[in-house]
A = this chain, B = another copy of it.
Amino acid sequence: MNKRVITLGEIMMRLSTPGHERFVSSNQYNIVYGGAEANVGISLANWGVSTAHVTAFPNNDIGKAALQYLRYAGLDTQYVFFEEGRMGLYFVENGAMQRSSKIIYDRFDSVFANFDGASIDWKKVFEGADWFHWTGITPAISASAAKICEAAVDAASELGVKISGDINYRRNLWQYGKQPLDIMPGLIGKTNLIIAGLTDFENCMDIHESDYVAACKKAQETCPSIEYVSTTHRKSISASHNGLSGVLWNGQELLESKSYDMTHIVDRVGGGDAYMAGLIYGLLTGDDQEALEFAVAASVLKHSIPGDANFVSVDEVAQLVKGENVGKLLR
């Protein structure tokens, strides 16, 4: 695929207890590195899209380990900046049955939160780029992170790069003095595809609708840049068993995807990012319904893979969409 995508955002070290061990009973953590935006980028890179991630890492061996992870995962790392500071962390405990999965964040005051981005030349970053992806986590982290996000969105918009934003409102963030409504509308106003649920609409766009289509329409009225709005529907029967489907508003109709029954979930963290990546890939390559189906199928497969990153191929996703080779033994 001859496309170029840029993603921006914090990457944290993810420390997961093995198997179904609880935090209090584990003396070992498995390590990968993840972040909502980089997870999207890794999916795209695995699908053959040239993808560069823009972020900041601590200039020590932990930062170097994270860099090596990104390269292993296929990302172009030329826009990783090394600065004094600490890497943000999140601890993951994998639930089972009725017991929930848990994430504990330790991300405040991280190297990314303190990164001023002065060294980023956005013109250069977006050279040859077709798409830029950001999420609502970045402007929620710190004033400087919000500024970097704004600069990126501004530059992309100016250069005619398509923009997607996963609104992803997180109440626990936004602790640096600003409120979502201070910043998010400005970003969304230049974005073409957003992932948003009703809560996101309320908190980040001041749109209070109980009907999804109504909310989508109002969002487009407010922000004419928006071409697509999408969200997933997750039905949590237990930590091990979920249902999943997605909807995509394309300005004219609300497309609905097939619905999947996910028993025996291995790891659901990163499932939303896999969906986002699938949507971007799908819209870069196919029609709206195909994009939506690709997104949901990609997300389903993510739930079968340990870690944040969705190491699946385009073929695997495409086959699941078609219902071929599902859960077989392939020799």
Q: Are A240 and B263 in contact (CB under 8 A)?
A: yes
**Of the residues B15, B62, B100, B241, contact of A330 by C-beta under 8 Å:** B100
Chain A interfacial residues counted at CB < 8 A: 81
Q: Decide yes or no: A24 and B260 within 8 Å by CB, A71-B74, A97-B327, A102-B330 being known contacts.
A: no
Residue in contact with A327 in the complex, picked from B26, B91, B98, CB distance below 8 Å:
B98
A15-B27 Cα distance, complex, nearest whole Å: 10
Residues of B within 8 A of A31 (CB): 26-29
Known A-B contacts A22-B311, A29-B31, A68-B24; the reply to A304 vs B103 at CB < 8 A is no
Considering residues A65, A86, A325, which has the most beta carbons from chain B within 10 angstroms of its beta carbon? A65
Given known A-B contacts A21-B306, A62-B23, A98 and B301 have beta carbons under 8 A apart: yes
Q: Shortest beta-carbon distance, A299 to chain B, in Å?
A: 11
Q: Name A303's contact: one of B97, B304, B309 (CB within 8 Å).
A: B97
Is B327 a contact partner of A238 (Cβ separation < 8 A)?
Answer: yes
In the bound assembly, the distance between CA atoms of A242 and B327 in angstroms comes to: 9
Residues of chain A in range 20-40 having any CB-CB distance to chain B below 8 Å: 20-32
Tell me the nearest residue of chain B to A307, going by C-beta: B25
- Residues of A94-129 contacting chain B, CB below 8 A: 95-106, 108-109
Kindly specify which of A208-216, A265-273, A275-283 makes contact with the partner chain: A265-273
A61 contacts chain B at the CB level, 8 A cutoff: yes
Do B62 and A103 have beta carbons less than 8 Å apart?
A: no
Cβ-based interface call for A64 (8 A)? yes
Interface 1/0 per residue, A243-275 and B, CB below 8 Å:
000000000000000001011111011000000
Q: Is the CB of B61 within 8 A of A23?
A: yes
With both chains docked as a complex, state the minimum distance between the C-beta of A126 and any C-beta of chain B, in angstroms: 22
- Tell yes or no: A19 within 8 A of B by CB: yes
Interchain residue pairs A-B with the least CB separation, the first 9: A72-B72, A240-B264, A238-B327, A239-B327, A23-B61, A99-B304, A96-B304, A97-B304, A71-B71
25 A-B pairs with CB atoms under 8 Å apart are A15-B29, A20-B306, A23-B61, A24-B61, A24-B64, A25-B306, A27-B27, A28-B30, A28-B31, A61-B93, A62-B104, A62-B106, A71-B72, A71-B74, A96-B266, A97-B262, A97-B327, A98-B304, A98-B326, A99-B312, A100-B330, A103-B331, A236-B326, A240-B264, A264-B264
Can you add 15 more A-B contacts, CB < 8 Å, to A27-B30, A69-B72, A89-B89?
Answer: A21-B306, A23-B62, A25-B307, A86-B108, A87-B106, A95-B327, A96-B304, A97-B263, A98-B320, A99-B305, A101-B330, A102-B330, A238-B263, A238-B264, A239-B328
